[in-house]
Structure 1
Amino acid sequence: MPKPTKGPRLGGGPAHERLLLSNLANALFTHGRITTTETKAKRLRPVAERLITFAKRGDLHARRRVIAALRDKTVVHTLFTEIAPQVADRQGGYTRITKLGFRKGDNAPLASIELVLEPVSSTPAPVSRTAAPAAAAPAAPVEAETTEAPVDETETTEESTPVAEETTTDAAAEVEADAAAKSDDAADSSK
């Protein structure tokens, strides 16, 4: 027997959750972007991505499975004819969730979920490495007697600006004299 998912469902029961996610998916495929709560957006993401994967397959069985989930033939037609060709070269990640802050009325966390329709770049992003990776070098076997290799010493000289001499003011001299007197008094009283 399949184990049910833990936690409360959106809208109350599992049937209501399926209908709610279906309506959210319909709105997402119709408008390209919708604003809803973070929880609904996170629950919608796998449903929408699975439907887009079926649409990319494009056969009759996939179309029937999407129609069973969405129940709106115009949205299914839009999904198969417009959205699927735009994401044909993308291997996944068809949606993007952006957090928007909190709703004014009930302080619920809002999020925007949108379709990612930009073409995938054929070249990966350049990776900048500051240091050579240490794992790339094979580890040398540890010998019983280790000889230390000479370390190249480099001389670094730092030139700094000369420090100006401190000038004492009458107030500073007075404070120092008071502090010295108090320390002398404390030393005398401790003896």
Structure 2
Amino acid sequence: MRHNKKFNHLGRTNTHREAMLSNMASSLILHKRIFTTTAKAKALRKFVEPLITKSKEDTTHSRRVVFSTLQNKYAVTELFKEVSQKVSERPGGYTRIIKTGNRLGDNAAMCFIELVDYNENMLKDTSKKKTKARRSRKKSTEAAPVVEAVAEEKVVAEVEAPAEEVKEEKTEE
């Protein structure tokens, strides 16, 4: 029976798939964003999120466990120094997949996979979203005539001013 064997093999043997996911996870940690197919990104998400969770606890054991899967000491150092500090308050969901369309050559679905706390553009967008307080329309309609009256006074003053200047010029000659 095939119970609990439902995951994407990505058309590779077990060792090839593990090596590919390890390399992709190292690249994701070092570069914070990579461009890949959607199927690989979904498989990578399941691979890398437990590693990031393990990095929150900086012990020798957790470093050895993460190194045994990544096999890249620079990625492990980056993960435990910087990434774990940024995601320390986040309870999960460390990665984001953004679909970008299909590849021209073989029409494969492509996407970006990135670490959530490292995209400055998305972080700025969330800080800009502020809800507007709803205001009654009575205040805005009452204030409008006052603004119009002030604007009319300015226009009248501007129209009269050039006429006075013309009179002054004639008297000087």
User: The TM-score by the shorter chain falls in which range?
Assistant: 0.5 to 0.7
Matched AA of 2:61:
H
State the distance in 2 between where 1:8 and 1:42 align: 9
For CA contacts below 8 A with separation 6 or more, give which structure has more relative contact order.
Answer: 2
Runs of 4+ in 1 over 6 A off after TM superposition: none
1:5 positional shift: 2.0
Match of 1:93 in 2: 93
Structure with the higher fraction of residues in helix conformation: 2
What letter matches 2:24 in structure 1? L
Question: What pairs with 1:167-182 in structure 2 (closer than 5 Å)?
Answer: none
| 1:35 and 1:111 in contact (8 A); partners too | yes
* Structure 1 residue 117, shift from structure 2 partner: 1.1
Q: Give the Å deviation of 1:60.
A: 1.1
Measured on the aligned residues, the alpha-carbon RMSD in Å equals 2.3
When residues 87 and 64 of structure 1 are mapped into structure 2, their CA distance, relative to the original with a 3 A threshold, is: same
Displacement of 1:104 in angstroms is 1.0
- How far off its partner does 1:12 sit? 1.6
Paired position in structure 1 for 2:135: none
**Following TM superposition, by how much is the alpha carbon of 1:7 offset from its aligned partner in structure 2, in angstroms?**
6.0
- Residues 8 and 43, structure 2, Cα contact 8 Å, conserved in 1: no
SS in 1 for 2:36: strand
Where does the alignment leave 5 or more consecutive residues of structure 1 unmatched? 127-191
- Where does residue 58 of structure 1 map in the other structure? 58
Q: Residues 103-126 of structure 1, C-alpha deviation per residue, up to 9 Å, x if partnerless?
A: 01111000110001168x9xxx98
Describe how 1:1-191 pairs up with structure 2 within 5 A: 5-6=5-6, 9-117=9-117
Distance in 1, Cα, partners of 2:8 & 2:44: 15
Give the TM-score normalised by the residue count of structure 1: 0.59
Distance 1:14 1:101, change over 3 A: same
